[in-house]
Structure formats: structure tokens, C-alpha cells
Amino acid sequence: MASIKKTTSKPKTSRKTPFVTEEPYRLEYVGKTEVHILGTAHVSEISVKAVEDLIDAVHPDTVCIELCESRMKSVEDPDYMKKLDIFKVFKERKMWLLLSSLILSSFQKKMGHGSVRPGDEMRKAIQLGRKSDSRIVPVDREIQTTLKRAWGNVSFFSKMYLFSALITSLFVKEDVSSEKIEEMKSEDILKDLFSQIPKKYESIKHVIIDERDQYLAEKIRRAASDPKAKKVVAVVGAGHLQGIINHIQHEHDLAVLDEVPKRKWQDTVSLIAYPLFFAGLFASITWSQGRDAGTEFLYQLVLIKAGLAALGALIAFAHPLSILLAAVVAPIGTFIPILKAGWVAGLSESYLRKPYVEDFENIATDTETFSGFWKNRVIHIFLVFLLPQLGSSFGSIIVAWKGFQQIF
């Protein structure tokens, strides 16, 4: 393994390179390889220019970018969204991951100014790297893995809290000034954003920031340890700069950081407990008040859950078949928990009303108006997924309450 030496350069500039910038910047050494690490804001014109200036000054043989393989493909391929099969996403039950990713991307896009798109500094790094025949290395962890590890570390109610915070970000309309964007490169401000979250969500911060600091540092270190590497430029978000500097001197096990959390025993117990609870309620009513009372309870369960799930689908302006499926599946899902009214309705909608390319591109602008949530086919599919499921869940609460009233 190559030895690692640390320069005494200041975080913003180094006298050992002709590159001078006001951007967060650091020169490190991995063995004899120069590693130039540039911190950027993902929607900043100044960051795009800084990337260009750094690569022109250093002439690197390797360019590392804070993207994973899948995100690099989407950045390089303008037709990437055309190839996204949202029906397959729902079929494989990856809708929460896609929705989280789309919301974060939409929020970032709203902060863009003028002709700058989110990730333009990464595009510029790839473009200049390809032009000079440099090796392009995506050094970030796969976004699916990061989201799975983040979601897997919190409870159901914590997921709902965090998800509601994500949804709220869609309604942000005010312009973010260029000055504010530049301030976002400040280490302290970015750390402060996470210092505000409650202690119980510390695991989220650990996965999204701390773990990725280690991951990025290790991938950059490995790229720099390649025998052919002499000069490496790494373009990363400014919030990761100090973390990368802290970790680049140590070797990290990427297999551990890539591990997806397994289903917890509590999840399995809850899947079994849910139908057992309602079966026990039905049995208790039937035993204490007779068969007619038990039949009445089942009738209420079907009517209430089917009605509220269908109402949710109707409010979402779902296709008639999606509404029907939500109504049918909701009561069945009470006793077969793997069947969800929202999932089935969303699956149906994604097949019957496939989104257009412009729907993905216009998520940020369409969410600025209330009607845009229904007009945009991508968001509309998620409404058809969410609202029937909320209706079905609310129906379960009503049915349980009515069951207890019958017993007591």
C-alpha cells in the first residue's frame, strides 16, 4: 500500500500548485501522487469555473467525481430518463428509494441559477477529463445503497417524519441567492444543517455524511494508489472536504460500507402481528356476540377499508382500474400484509399512464403549483401510490376502534 503524506497547505489554496481559488480546496499526497481535492456547491457557477481552472492548471491523469456509477450514467446520457421503467420500479418495490431520490434532486434543481443545472461542475469535470484522456473514476457509493442504509436505521414513525420533511422541500418556492449558494460551501454551515436535527436521527447523518466521507476518501485513495496515477483531481461537495482529508490517510473496508441492512426481526413480527390482531378481533366479537356480529365486523372492515382506499385513489385522479384495484386489495391486505392498496394502485397507474421524459425534467417546476402535482405524471403516480395507502391505513384504525367498541 502506498504511503500517505500530508501537506501543510491551507484548506483553500496551496502554494505548491499554480491553481488559486476561493473555493474550499486541499492538496494531499498519496505516496508520490498529488491529490487535488476541490470542494464545490452543486448548483454554483463559480464551482463550475473552479473545476475548469483546476484541471487546466494541474493536467491530471485521473479525475475523481462525487458520483456513483448509476448517477454518472444519468449525467453523461441525456436519454437516461427515457430508459427509466417506472413500472419496473414499482414492481420491484423500489418506489420509496426513487421518490426520495427524485425529491432531493428536485429540491437541488430549484436552487439552480440561470443556466447552471445541479451537478454541472461534475459534468464539466467529466467533459474535460474525457477531452484530455484522463481516467474518470466515480468515487461515491451507489445512491440506492446509501438510501437503504439510511432508511434501514430508523423506525417507521421516523421514516414518516423524515419523509414529510422531504415532501415539504417540494413546496420551497423562494429563490436562493447566488451569495447564499456560495455560503453553502462553508464547512461550518453544512455541518450546522445536520447539527439541528434531533439526536434520534443522528444515524441518518452518519450514513449520509460520515460514512460517505470514509467511502469517498477510500475510493480517492485507491485511485491515487494506481501505479499509473501521478496527478489526481477529485471534485466533491464542499461538505465532504474535511471528512475526506481526515480519512484519506487510513484504509477503509468498502464491503462493510456497501452492506445493505437485512430485514429486522421486528419487521417480521409486525407482518405477522397485523393480520393476527384483526383475526383475533373478529374471533373475539364472534365468540362474545355471535356469528352475526362477527359477519357485521367483517362487512364494516371491507366497506371502510375499500371505501377509503378508493377515495384516496379518486382524489389522486387515478385511472378507474387503479381505483378498483385499490378498493379490492385494501381489505385483502388486512390479512395478507404483503399486499398493499397503494402499491397495487401505483403499479397499475405506472403501467397504464407511463410518464413522459419531460415529466422527469419538470418535477421541480411542476411542484411549484398545486395543480402541478396532478399534471406531472411522475408525481401523479406517487400520489396514486400514497393516497390509497393512507386511506387504507386510516381505515384500519377506524375498523379497530369500532371492533373494540363492539367488544366493550
Any bridge partners for residue 64, and if so which? 137, 234
**Based on the domain organization, do 297 and 403 belong to the same domain?**
yes
Q: In 3-state terms, what secondary structure has residue 29?
A: strand
**Based on the domain organization, do 237 and 270 belong to the same domain?**
no
Total domain count for the chain?
2
Q: How far apart are CA 171 and CA 288, in angstroms?
A: 51
Return the pLDDT at 391: 94
**Based on the domain organization, do 288 and 184 belong to the same domain?**
no
Q: How far apart are CA 372 and CA 302, in angstroms?
A: 33
**Based on the domain organization, do 192 and 319 belong to the same domain?**
no
Q: How far apart are CA 201 and CA 280, in angstroms?
A: 35
**Based on the domain organization, do 8 and 120 belong to the same domain?**
yes
Domain membership of residue 189 as a residue range: 4-257
**Based on the domain organization, do 343 and 362 belong to the same domain?**
yes
Last residue within a domain, chosen from 257, 276, 296:
257
Give the list of residues 6+ apart from residue 22 with CB closer than 8 angstroms, or none: 12, 46
Mean pLDDT by 10 residues, the chain (408 residues): 39 52 82 92 81 93 91 71 66 64 56 59 92 94 82 67 59 51 48 55 77 94 93 92 91 91 71 87 90 91 95 94 95 89 90 75 68 80 90 93 85
pTM flag (> 0.75) = no
Return the pLDDT at 164: 62
**Based on the domain organization, do 124 and 233 belong to the same domain?**
yes
Place of cell 468515487: 139
Last residue within a domain, chosen from 257, 278, 303:
257
| Cβ burial, residue 254 (10 Å; 0-12/13-18/19+) | middle
For every residue of 322-387, DSSP letters joined together read HHHHHHHHHHHTTTSTT--HHHHHHHHHHHHSPPPHHHHHTHHHHTTSTTHHHHSHHHHHHHHHHH
| Cβ burial, residue 185 (10 Å; 0-12/13-18/19+) | buried
**Based on the domain organization, do 246 and 276 belong to the same domain?**
no
Q: Which three cell numbers stand for residue 286?
A: 364472534
- Asked if 288 contacts 407 with a C-beta cutoff of 8 angstroms, the reply is yes
Return the pLDDT at 127: 92
**Based on the domain organization, do 186 and 286 belong to the same domain?**
no
**Based on the domain organization, do 245 and 275 belong to the same domain?**
no
**Based on the domain organization, do 332 and 241 belong to the same domain?**
no
**Based on the domain organization, do 252 and 340 belong to the same domain?**
no
Last residue within a domain, chosen from 200, 230, 257:
257
Return the pLDDT at 3: 41
Nearest CA-CA partner of 114 in 56, 48, 162: 48
